[in-house]
A and B are shown apart, each in its own frame.
Chain A
Amino acid sequence: MPEGLAETLWSIATGELRGPEAEAVLDRVLQDPDTAELWRATFALAEEAGLENAAGSDEADVDESQLLADSPAANSRPAANTGPMGSRWLGLAGAAAAALMLVWLWPSPKPPTPGDPSVDDPTVAPVIRAVDHPAIGSALESESLPREACLLQWKGGPVGARFDVWVETRAGVRLATGLDLEGTQFQVPVDALRDVAEGEAIVWRITALAEDGRRVDSPSFQVRVQ
C-alpha cells in the first residue's frame, strides 16, 4: 500500500479531495478488490461519523432512480442497513458479490400490468413526459409483423436521442432488448420469437436518452407476430 492511501481515501470520503486525485484512486478500485474494500470501509466510516461530504445528497430532485427505473434491479440492491449509503457494499471485482451485481446491472422494463390502457388499447394517446419534443410513438403501419421481419419502428423523442428498446410477451417475459440505438428501429431476432405463437401479441416500448441526459419513456405498444 503506498504511503498515504488511508489519508487520501479519508480526504475523498470527507469531500476534501475531488477530481483528478480521487480519480487516481478510483482507477485502482476497479482493478484491485483490496483497494475497493478499503474504499468502502472509509466511506462507511465517514458516513457513520456524519462526515461524508456527499452522504445523502441524492436529493429529491435527483432522478437517479430513473437509471434503473422500471427495473426489479432498482429494488434489489443490497439492503440498506443504515442511512442512504447503506446499500453501497458491493465489492467491485469481488467474487462473492458478482451475482448480486449482475442483477443490479440489468434493468428490465416493468412488465405491462393487466388493464394498462396503453397496452390494451392502441388508440390511447401516449403520456407526454416532456413538452419540448414530440412524444415517442409507434411508427408501425400494421398491427402485425412477420416473425422473420419483425422490425419495430418508432418516431418522436428528443432530437439526437439514443434509444433502448424492450420487447416482452404480454405476460412480461423479456424476449429481446436493443440498447443505445442511434436509429428509430429495431429488428427483433427470429430466435427471440420462437416461443411466440402465431398471432400472439408482443409488447414493446422505448426509452430515449436525450443528449442533455434526460430520459423519456414511451408508453407500451403491441404488435402481433405472424
Chain B
Amino acid sequence: MQAPGVATDEMTAMASAVRRAVGRALRPAMASYADDIAQSAMERLVARMRADPSTKPRTQRYLWMMANHAVIDEIRALQRRRESPESEEGIALVGNPHDSAHRRELGEAITACVGALPLPRRRAVTLYLQGHGVTEAAEILGWVRKQADNAVYRGLAAVRRCLEGKGITP
C-alpha cells in the first residue's frame, strides 16, 4: 500500500497495527468484520493523503491520528449498516439467538446497575469495565489514584449487590 511520503514498510506496519486494534475493539458479534474495516480504513487513509499532498511534514503522530480517524469512520459506517434493516448490507449479530438474548439481558442489567451508581463511581467503574487500570482511570479522570481505587472498589461492590438483587450471580 503506497502513500505519498511514507515508506512502504511503515505503511505495512501501520496496517498490521490497525488490524490488531480493530480486532480488539469490535464487539465479538462484529469481529468477523475486523479485516474488512482495517483494510477499508487503510485505503481511506491513503486516499486522504493522496488527496492532500501537503508539503507540511507528516509526523508519526499525525499519521496515527489520521489512521485513527479512518478507523473511526469505517466502524461508524459498519454501525450504521447494522442499524439499518433496509440496507442490503444489513448486518445481523451472529450467534445463537437464545444466547444472544440472554447476553443482551445481562448487558442491560449491568448497564442499569452501573448507571445507578453515583456519577464519580459510575465513571470509574465504566473505565474499569472497559479494561483501563486504576492508575489509567485516575489519569483519564484527572483524579488522584487513591480516589479512583476507592471509587472502583466501592462501585464494583455496589454493582455486584445490584446484580444479585436482580437475581444475577456468576
A97 and B60 CA atoms in complex are apart in Å by 33
1/0 contact string of B71-115 vs chain A (CB within 8 Å): 111011001000000000000010100001011111111110011
Band of interface residues on A: 35 or more
Task: Report whether B157 and A180 are in contact in the complex, using a CB–CB cutoff of 8 Å.
Answer: yes
Chain A CB within 8 A of B126 CB: yes
Task: Report whether A29 and B130 are in contact in the complex, using a CB–CB cutoff of 8 Å.
Answer: yes
Chain B CB within 8 A of A128 CB: no
A84 and B159 CA atoms in complex are apart in Å by 25
Query: How far in angstroms is the closest Cβ of chain A from B105?
Result: 8
In the complex, 26 of the A-B residue pairs with CB atoms within 8 angstroms, ordered by the A residue number, are: A10-B65, A23-B141, A34-B79, A39-B130, A41-B21, A45-B71, A48-B18, A55-B136, A63-B149, A67-B149, A67-B153, A77-B131, A85-B131, A91-B27, A92-B110, A92-B111, A92-B129, A94-B29, A95-B93, A96-B27, A98-B103, A98-B104, A98-B106, A98-B109, A99-B106, A209-B150
Of B1-9, B46-54, B160-168, which binds chain A?
B160-168
A31 and B122 CA atoms in complex are apart in Å by 11
With A30-B114, A38-B72, A85-B131 in contact, do A97 and B28 touch (Cβ < 8 Å)?
yes
- In the complex, which residues of chain B have a beta carbon less than 8 angstroms from the beta carbon of A63? 149
Chain B CB within 8 A of A5 CB: yes
- In the complex, which residues of chain B have a beta carbon less than 8 angstroms from the beta carbon of A107? 156
- In the complex, which residues of chain A have a beta carbon less than 8 angstroms from the beta carbon of B132? 43, 54, 88
Residues of B within 8 A of A (CB-CB), count: 75
Query: How far in angstroms is the closest Cβ of chain A from B1?
Result: 17
- In the complex, which residues of chain A have a beta carbon less than 8 angstroms from the beta carbon of B146? 212-213
Task: Report whether A58 and B106 are in contact in the complex, using a CB–CB cutoff of 8 Å.
Answer: no
Query: How far in angstroms is the closest Cβ of chain A from B139?
Result: 5
A215 and B159 CA atoms in complex are apart in Å by 19
With A97-B28, A102-B163, A212-B146 in contact, do A180 and B154 touch (Cβ < 8 Å)?
yes
Chain A CB within 8 A of B40 CB: no
Query: How far in angstroms is the closest Cβ of chain B from A194?
Result: 17
Partner of A48, one of B21, B61, B160: B21
Identify which of residues 7-38 in chain A touch chain B, using a CB-to-CB cut-off of 8 Å: 7, 9-10, 12-15, 18-20, 22-23, 26-27, 29-31, 33-34, 36-38
Chain B CB within 8 A of A131 CB: no
A6 and B79 CA atoms in complex are apart in Å by 15
With A93-B110, A104-B129 in contact, do A10 and B149 touch (Cβ < 8 Å)?
no
Task: Report whether B160 and A106 are in contact in the complex, using a CB–CB cutoff of 8 Å.
Answer: yes
Task: Report whether A41 and B27 are in contact in the complex, using a CB–CB cutoff of 8 Å.
Answer: no
